[in-house]
Chain A
Amino acid sequence: MGYSFTAPDKNWAREPIERTEILWIIIAGSWCLFMFVWMIAWHWIGNQNMNTEAYKTFTDVYAKKTEEFTKQYTVRQDASDPSLPVVAPPPGSDVYIAGSIFQWRPVLELQKGKSYRLHISSLDYVHGFSLQPENINFQAYPGYEQVITVTPNKAGTYGIVCNDYCGLGHHTMLGRIYVKE
């Protein structure tokens, strides 16, 4: 007798558990354990994991690094927006991209199947780095520099969209990566 809103029997913890619940706890519990192990295992069996390499930095330091990197490897101005340099760094090198209101700079040109150490940071607010149509998403902070090794596996033109709110022009914040065969 009783409800959820009335006091339970005096020794409720001694009441037996019905079969429906026991079996469900075993099934659900096993699956929970599996998911836990699988998430850890993906660090070895999977190719998509976040590198935890990151540094504390300063926005002016990162801006300077990005600028030097841009100067060093600029190959042309972008056809869609001539004010934007297109940067083609050599495979295996450190590549810098900076978010600031309201742009991801510079435009990158990478080679398919080659790896790059991609550095991401922000020069002002918190931004979202969203690579489309791959739909790979990272958080970018001012003062923190993330390094992730990327290996583009399909050629094409990729958009970078800012997907965390950074001010009234947030929806105009874009960037681009070209991946060549």
Chain B
Amino acid sequence: MSNEPVEQQTVLQRVLDDINFIMMLGLVIPTVLYTLWGVMEVASLPIAR
């Protein structure tokens, strides 16, 4: 390990570099906003008279 002073990386860089976090986002957001919400809308339709 070198001892030269390392400039702190920005939060954005650390977030973008965290591939596991990216994977989590990429699975959770569409599953919740698209799939689960969509399926719930279909499931909650009333029965026709």
Q: Interface majority SS on B: helix, strand, loop or mixed?
A: loop
Residues of B at under 8 Å CB distance from A? 6-7, 9-10, 12-13, 16, 45-49
Main secondary structure on chain A at its contact with chain B? mixed
Instruction: List the count of A-B residue pairs having beta carbons below 8 Å apart.
Output: 30
Determine if A54 and B45 form an interchain contact, defined as CB atoms under 8 angstroms apart. yes
Cβ of A62 under 8 Å from chain B: yes
Q: Could you say which residues of chain A place their CB within 8 Å of the CB of B9?
A: 11, 13
Which residues of A does B touch, CB under 8 Å? 10-14, 54-57, 61-62, 144-145
Instruction: Say how far B13's CB is from chain A's closest CB, in angstroms.
Output: 4
Interchain Cβ contacts under 8 Å between A and B, 22 examples: A10-B6, A10-B7, A11-B7, A11-B10, A11-B13, A12-B13, A13-B9, A13-B10, A13-B12, A13-B13, A14-B10, A54-B45, A55-B45, A55-B48, A56-B45, A56-B46, A56-B47, A56-B48, A57-B47, A57-B48, A61-B48, A144-B45
